[in-house]
Amino acid sequence: MSEHVVSEIYEDQPITVTYCNESECVRVFQGQVGEDKLDIMQAGLAAGHMLILIDGKYFLQEAGDIPYSEYPFELMTWGEWKTDHPDGLVLTEVIREL
């Protein structure tokens, strides 16, 4: 994952994946079905951990009080994913809305 925060709508569900290569922390958050993408942005580093900005408030990525529910995920290698999902679709370019 080359971006540290990726937000998308998946089957009408707002999903955001956060990844910190410093601490190797991955979290996946979900919003309410039918709502817009989550307002989560990378905001730098603090004490070796990724700092994220959520709706104008700063949180460490590992914080327990982030105001979104976690979405279940499984961490695996790219090779494992391709084997398990041979017909799966993957976004191969960064698309930014201006």
Distance CA 9, CA 63 (A): 23
* Conformation bin of residue 61: beta by default, left when phi > 0, alpha when psi is -120 to 50: alpha
Could you give the 3-state DSSP secondary structure of residue 82? helix
Structure token pair of residue 5: 């925060």
Kindly indicate the confidence band of residue 61, based on its pLDDT and cuts at 50, 70 and 90: very high
Kindly indicate the confidence band of residue 29, based on its pLDDT and cuts at 50, 70 and 90: very high
Predicted structure pTM score: 0.80
Least confident range of 48-52, 80-84, 88-92 = 88-92
> Distance of CA 24 to CAs 2, 60, 62, 65, Å?
13, 13, 11, 20
Query: If you ran DSSP here, which 8-state letter would residue 71 be given?
Result: P
